[in-house]
Chain A
């Protein structure tokens, strides 16, 4: 299994809603990432979890709250989002071995989020 599975594929939410994005991998990877991608732009890193601990937070607003319940799962909790947060949210994973410069990144197919 070399897949990163993201759900849902599409999400429409109002600015007062609370929703969650889910990401799952069963490759034994210990690093998991959230990226945000606006149309025709490259992905922007939001968060990285390494061995289930938050390793990187790229100064993301607190209305985005990541969670890593176990080594296979990564969630992104959303609350009080703004219309400008509408984007494609991509999850990725890698082995998480700092000594291995040859690590490959595996991406999910993303959640297309629209905030009304």
Chain B
């Protein structure tokens, strides 16, 4: 079992739909990142969370440290949101520079 699990693995939505991507982890963490990767490779860091909730535009990220769970929500989804969304955690035992990555959620938003 992976230390960082994401669900769903693949998601197709219609434009305008509310989307939720989940990340569960089994290790103690000091930080959790939500990353976005478009076809062609480049990765963009969307959020870094160590507690609570963050919002940026149509994106909202939450984390529940006790339940070892984080969610990424996209409101009013748009075709340009189509990408792979990756959850990555920095565990408390693996040192400052090591991140454990989830396998990603492939999101396709149809017009």
Contacts and interface: CB of A to CB of B under 8 A. Distances in A.
Contacts of B30: 101
A108 B103 contact: no
A7 B45 CA distance: 20
B50 A108 contact: no
Nearest to B30: A101
Contacts of A108: 42
A56 B98 contact: yes
Interface in A5-58: 31, 33, 37, 40-43, 45, 48, 50, 55-56
Contacts of B45: 104-107
B97 A112 contact: no
B106 to A, nearest CB: 8
A106 B96 CA distance: 15
B57 to A, nearest CB: 17
Contacts of B97: 31, 33, 45, 48, 50, 55-56, 94
A33 to B, nearest CB: 7
Contacts of A50: 97
Interface string A53-83: 0011000000000000000000000000000
Contacts of A88: 41
B47 to A, nearest CB: 9
Nearest to A44: B101
Given A101-B30, A105-B88, 7 more contacts: A33-B97, A42-B101, A43-B43, A45-B98, A101-B31, A105-B35, A109-B42
Interface of A: 31, 33, 37, 40-43, 45, 48, 50, 55-56, 88, 90, 92, 94, 98, 101-110, 112
8 contacts: A33-B97, A42-B101, A56-B97, A101-B50, A103-B48, A104-B33, A107-B44, A109-B40
